[in-house]
Amino acid sequence: MNGLIPIVKRELLSYFRSPVAYIFIIIFLISTAGATWFLGSFYQSNQSSLDPFFFFHPWLYLFLIPAVGMRLWAEDRRSGTIELLLTLPVNLLTAVLGKFLAAWLFVGIALALTFPMAATVYYLGSPDTGLVVTGYLGSFLMAGSYLAIACFTSSMTKNQVISFVLGFFICLILVLLGWGFLQALLVNVFPVWLADAITFFSFSSHFEGFHRGLIDSRDVIYFLSIIGFMLFATVIVLEHRKAS
């Protein structure tokens, strides 16, 4: 893993050298605030809780995270700099992990900047701190899973738009698997055990535990497994390109 930290630093700084990063953060903050205050009917609920805030994260990430991840490798492939990167004395796994960690840290910074919402909730009442902490932890892990998928789709194409669309639809399927109407449809089509196995891969159901204040090792392992598997798949795609 020699060279991991320099890659992370370089990639993370590259985000903030571009106005795109600041535009993303502004859009992220506005969309989360709008979803919480208006779509989530925060004030009408008369509860000092961040439930509406976390409820919309799986849906907001569908659009926002693939937008961050679509440039990870697609831009390098389009500009031709990927050939230079693949010839450097850096392990390919290290390069993939470095790019991913930098993007994940960037998303984490954007998530941390939503702290005024938490501060507002504490100002208005006495929310359960455990729910707030687990909600943020689950959201960060889920964002990493979205991002790992976007990293994989970005490695498959030179076109950032195609990468975004592919990442969006893969993540959309994984979100919808946790919704009741699709679960009922799967039960009608497949045996119950197979339907349960399919719905197990839902982002929504694994995030729900964090949303309710529970840190279940199965949910943590699920998100980390998605990240690990998709990054491994990214390495395989790039290794194939390197060999060809």
Which whole number is the average pLDDT over 214-223?
Answer: 90
Domain residue ranges in the chain = 4-243
As a whole number of angstroms, the distance between CA 189 and CA 183 comes to 10
Alpha helix (H) residue ranges in the chain: 4-16, 19-34, 42-45, 51-55, 57-69, 71-79, 81-87, 92-112, 115-124, 129-155, 160-176, 180-189, 192-199, 203-211, 217-243
User: For residue 187, what pLDDT is reported?
Assistant: 67
For 29-63, write each residue's pLDDT tens digit.
999 888 877 775 665 565 667 788 888 898 899 98
223 or 180, greater pLDDT: 223
Q: Read off the pLDDT of residues 165-184 as tens digits, 9 standing for 90 and up.
A: 999 999 998 888 866 666 66
What is the reported pLDDT for 120? 82
Helix (H, G, I), strand (E, B) or coil at 36: helix
Residue 52: both structure tokens together:
């509406």
CA 27 to chain centroid, in Å, comes to 16
- How far is it, in rounded angstroms, from Cα 210 to Cα 219? 8
